[in-house]
Chain A
Amino acid sequence: MTSVVAWNGSASARAALLWALRRERERSGRGGLLLLTVIDEAFRSCGQAAMDELTVAARQALEAEVTWVERMAPEVSVTARLLEGDPERELLRHCPDGSMLIVGRGEPRSHFHRRALAPRLASQASVPVALVRADRGQDRSGVIVGVDGSNASAEASVVAAEEAHHRHEPLHLVHAWPGTNPGPPAPTSPDTDLAHHRRILDEAVRAIREGFPSLDIAPHLESGQAASVLSRQAQTAALLVVGSRAQGPVKRFLLGSVSRALAQTTDCPLIIVTEGDHGPQ
């Protein structure tokens, strides 16, 4: 499973590259690393000379980065492509089937990320998208996946289990239920309600156990809003995986509310798996 890194020379792109490199090493470099750099076609209006200067700078930077990867991780096969066009479109077009697209996330207050590319990419990609923020040297462990009984969350669980397996880390399946939140009285009694949520979680655990018998799996039933429960759990986690429901072609560029909230708030690396993504199989 190739790790595709959206690389533009920035500090957050470097965070994405480091994350991808670690991921490939855990897989003994079998998947390979692909660095994609897209020169934004919008700069054409600055003139051909400006475009040429940018292209030369990008090519030299990309070559230097590839040299560094080859030196650091000779076991990982690394390739790079320099493209020109609309960054979003070109990145999506050049992700091979079965790969994972890895995108760096800038600091929220950065000047250069007004157009938040990363979350929108996640909603349109046909592969899982990992959003990675620069590591702050915090101790993180465990892979967390949000479970809600949907197809999207089932696919996300498989991706999460794969990641946990290669990292030799436990997998935490987290299901959030509204619990005793104030609001209109539930149509069912709280007891049957809780039993229903427990069944969703048990079913998810059973499905993953079948596919990954040796994996250390921990189910968690938490009361609260999904986004805040996952965000709290992700504070110390090494990785958070969520599913996002497939939408019609028009709504496809809108990310689900939970994944959108998490993409904005959490510092933890986040993988968004959209229903129907050609996942790791």
Chain B
Amino acid sequence: MYEKTVVGWDGSAPAQAAVDWAVRWVEERSRAVRIVRVVDSDALDADDLDIRWSVAVATFALAEVAAQLRVGHPEMDVTTAVALGEPAEVLNEHAEGDSLIVVGTQHGHIDEYWFSSRLGARLAAVAGRAVAVIPITDSRERSGVIAGISGFDERASVGLFAAEVAQLRSEKLHLVYACPKHTVRSEAAFGHCDDAAFDRTLSAVSRAFPTLVVHCHVEHTSPASALLLRARDASLIVVGTRRPGVARRLVLGSVSHTLVNNAPCPTVVVPTIANGPL
């Protein structure tokens, strides 16, 4: 699982946070990391020479980062690519199979450059594979992997992803199921969903990681606020997104969207139904 890790990089502080997080991720798994610098050709109202110049500067800057990584982590397989195009599309093209895509983000900071929160959300919506969005974190001591589970996750992808990280980092795994109590209809409609979601995730996780201790939590608030609250101290939040088909490709689920844009800790968005329509 996750043979290759693709990092979007643009030289900014959030991008560096993304690289640092990805390096740790790759080191824990001794796999390959590819750092991709996308020169957004649409954003450049420029002639050919200006684009070539941007590419040349980006190529050198990327080469420097890669060389430093290789010096610090000689065992790691670090490759680079500079490409022209739309960032989310290019990053997705560089991710083959089940690669994990990692990008940085800066909350509450929307400007022209492409590591604004929009890239993470957009990638998570279009990628069809796991996307990690890494904010610049505070100095708070963080621990615990949170999986936001739902009744829709047929293959327990969210729980399994979170469990693998918890196992590797020897951290606690928390499964969080949230359902607002005041919504009578949802009580009726989803009354048994939490049990089903827990059962499915617990049995999948205990099969794959028999020694891992799993903590289960049911919260009677909205999923987004339950997860955001826990994000304050967690080291990672994993949420799922449904991909109901091409027509809604650009619409990320509201829970994952909220977390990607606001969580103070790294967030991974995992597609919950592989390749297929609902």
Contact = CB atoms under 8 A, between A and B. Distances in A.
Interface of A: 8-11, 14, 40, 42-43, 45-46, 50, 53-54, 57-58, 60-61, 64-65, 67-68, 71-72, 111-112
Nearest to A57: B60
24 contacts: A8-B56, A8-B60, A9-B59, A9-B62, A9-B63, A10-B82, A11-B80, A46-B49, A46-B50, A50-B53, A54-B56, A54-B57, A57-B61, A57-B64, A58-B60, A60-B60, A60-B64, A61-B61, A64-B64, A64-B67, A64-B68, A65-B63, A68-B71, A112-B52
Nearest to A134: B79
Nearest to A55: B60
Contacts of B71: 64, 67-68, 71
Interface of B: 49-50, 52-53, 55-57, 59-64, 66-68, 70-71, 74, 79-84
Contacts of A9: 59-60, 62-64
Contacts of B68: 64
A111 B52 CA distance: 10
Contacts of A68: 67, 70-71
Contacts of B81: 11
Q: Which of B56, B57, B60, B61 has the largest number of chain A CB atoms within 10 A? A: B60
A2 to B, nearest CB: 21
A46 B60 CA distance: 17
Give the 10 A-B CB pairs with smallest separation, nearest first.
Answer: A9-B63, A64-B67, A57-B60, A61-B60, A61-B64, A9-B59, A61-B63, A9-B60, A64-B64, A68-B67
Chain B binding surface, main DSSP class: helix
Contacts of A72: 70, 74
A71 to B, nearest CB: 5
Given A43-B56, A54-B53, A64 B74 contact: no
Contacts of A112: 52, 55, 82
Contacts of B79: 11
A75 B48 CA distance: 42
A55 to B, nearest CB: 9
B16 to A, nearest CB: 15
Contacts of B61: 57, 61
Nearest to A51: B53
B57 A42 contact: no
Contacts of B56: 8, 40, 43, 54
A78 to B, nearest CB: 13
Contacts of B83: 111
Contacts of B66: 14
Nearest to A9: B63
B67 A61 contact: yes
B163 to A, nearest CB: 31
Given A14-B66, A42-B52, A43-B52, 9 more contacts: A8-B60, A9-B59, A9-B63, A9-B64, A11-B81, A46-B53, A61-B60, A64-B63, A112-B52
A96 to B, nearest CB: 24
A10 B59 contact: yes
A42 B51 CA distance: 13
Contacts of B60: 8-9, 54, 57-58, 60-61
